[in-house]
A and B are shown apart, each in its own frame.
Chain A
Amino acid sequence: MYSSIGIFIVDTIMISFFRNEAYISDKPAFMSTPRVRYMVYAATAVLLSAFQVIFVSFIAIEGVTPDLVLIWCIWVALYEGQLVGMVVGFGTGLVFDAIASAVLGSNALAKVIASFIAGYFYKEGMERQRTGSWSFILIVTVCGAIHNLIYYFFYLRPTEVNFYTFFLHYGVFTTLYTSVAAIIPKLIASRKQEW
């Protein structure tokens, strides 16, 4: 019962607002309008950033946490394409920077580039198949690695922190942890696909 409720909530937020017309047809009409979708993206960006800052530290392993905000940006890029993905990645990155007291623009830059790369895997009409297959995890891993590489390169380079040690410790493990966390939305999407 709880899993059904969970699936319904996540699904309502993450899937039903996207552009797959066949799926949207059994939802209220307002959900299929772009304006509502973008408002949902904005609201999700704020909520997810706050969730990342407050709650994700509870599942930290040796100080490494999964980047849920990045998964969200990649998801949007795979559902909406490169252009919308980049704008959402930039906006979400800025919101996260503001909420996490990070240097403004550091996450925005990394997430824009990650969304841009994720957008290459976008194919119209194949959105659900992309996010519901194991290729989604692979895309998250690739984009996550590039995201962390950019983040650490731009953010840590001016400091005395050893870039290679830091990237190997945090960048690689953060990428792997993020990929593991991406299995949850993948399973939800694939289950929906079966329905």
Chain B
Amino acid sequence: MLRFIELIARFKEYVILCVLIIMSITMMSFGAATKLTGFRTIIIGALGIVHSGVDNLPNFLTITSENRALRELAYNLNQEVLASRKAQVENQILHELLHLKDSSSYPLVSTKIVGRTMDKSRHYVVIDAGQQDSVADNMAVVNYQGLVGYIFSASPHYSIVQTILDKNSRIAARVRRTNVNGILSWEGGDILWLKNIPKTDTVVVGDLIVTSPFSTRFPSDIPVGKIAEIRDEPNTLFSKIVVEPVVRFNSLEYVMVRRQQPDVERQMIEDFLEKKLQKK
């Protein structure tokens, strides 16, 4: 026993290293970042307050590119305003004719971004709306351009939004023109990848990608991006498609939370099916 203790004391650095590694891996295997809900809620609230305080500080490294992007945006918006005035009138007539369900039947909560976290594989933003504004986990977050992300966690006054530019992004999406469905994912940079699109499908550069009705997390038909490049994957039946998000994440300032939570019953039945298939 004494020799064993001596042995441990002699190699204490290695023993402690092993213990700490085992502890870390055990914690990682428990997984999700939302496990410490109460604790994280306090941290989100505290960080939100600090973020609000530093929100007005300019980021000198990105200010030039932001200015350029804003100028382009102002020009494009001007063009779009002209086009949308005409479209608005047409839209109203069509709505009445087709008795379409009003797409804004779900109320939107308008919020301001008060903080950003860019940490290698994750891109979060902190918004100044929380549980007291009826914002809850998993609600979709959009802006006037399209899909921004979803509510990752909410405290009473602030919420963390996980943007679509995140390693955990898996968005069921479809090409609006051809209605073919695929999966959007992020692998770094400012682009998304659309997978599972058959080579036989006639997608072209510039096609708009929207959320699919098959998505359990996001409402359907929210614009996500435009096809920027189509790559031919050798030895597969599918193309790998580069999608440029429609949302300009660098100049994102205001977003809206769509107060509609994913269909819990549908998610449950799909999870049940997935578990059953995994067992087989």
A residues adjacent to B (C-beta < 8 A): 50, 53-55, 57-61, 63-65, 82-83, 86-87, 90, 93-94, 98-106, 108-109, 112-113, 116, 119, 151-152, 154-156, 159-162, 165-166, 169-170, 174
Contacts and interface: CB of A to CB of B under 8 A. Distances in A.
Given A112-B20, A161-B187, 14 more contacts: A53-B47, A57-B116, A60-B61, A60-B62, A60-B118, A86-B20, A98-B39, A101-B122, A102-B119, A103-B31, A106-B28, A113-B17, A156-B167, A166-B187
A53 B117 contact: yes
Contacts, number: 137
Contact of A101 (B116, B152, B167): B152
Interface in B42-66: 43-44, 47, 50-51, 54, 57, 59-62
Nearest to B34: A101
Contacts of B62: 60
B153 A109 contact: no
Nearest to B160: A101
Nearest to A55: B54
Nearest to A166: B188
B70 interface: no
A156 B121 contact: yes
Interface of B: 12-13, 16-17, 20-21, 23-28, 30-33, 35-36, 39-40, 43-44, 47, 50-51, 54, 57, 59-62, 115-124, 152-153, 160, 167-168, 170, 185-189
Contacts of B160: 101
B121 A104 contact: no
- The B contact surface, by secondary structure, is mixed
Main secondary structure of the interface of A (DSSP, over half): helix
Given A58-B61, A99-B43, A112-B17, A104 B116 contact: no
A174 B187 contact: no
A161 B185 CA distance: 8
A126 to B, nearest CB: 19
Interface core residue of A59, A109, A154, A162 (most chain B CB under 10 Å): A109
A27 B177 CA distance: 72
A71 B13 CA distance: 21
Per CB-CB distance, the 9 closest pairs between chain A and chain B, nearest first, are A105-B27, A109-B24, A105-B28, A105-B24, A108-B24, A112-B20, A104-B27, A161-B167, A90-B20
22 contacts: A50-B50, A53-B117, A54-B50, A57-B59, A57-B117, A61-B61, A63-B123, A65-B119, A100-B117, A101-B160, A102-B33, A102-B119, A105-B23, A105-B25, A105-B26, A105-B30, A109-B25, A112-B20, A112-B21, A113-B21, A160-B185, A165-B187
Nearest to A91: B20
Contacts of A63: 118, 123
B23 A57 contact: no
Contacts of B21: 109, 112-113
A98 B44 CA distance: 10
Contact of A169 (B12, B124, B189): B189
Given A82-B13, A112-B21, A170-B120, A104 B167 contact: no
A179 to B, nearest CB: 16
B30 to A, nearest CB: 7
A83 B186 contact: no
Nearest to B58: A58
Given A54-B47, A58-B61, A170 B188 contact: yes
A65 B60 CA distance: 14
A169 B188 contact: yes
Given A54-B47, A58-B59, A103-B31, A155 B23 contact: no
A180 to B, nearest CB: 14
B26 A155 contact: no
A106 B30 CA distance: 11
Contacts of A99: 43, 47
A83 B12 contact: yes
Contact of A159 (B31, B117, B124, B168): B168
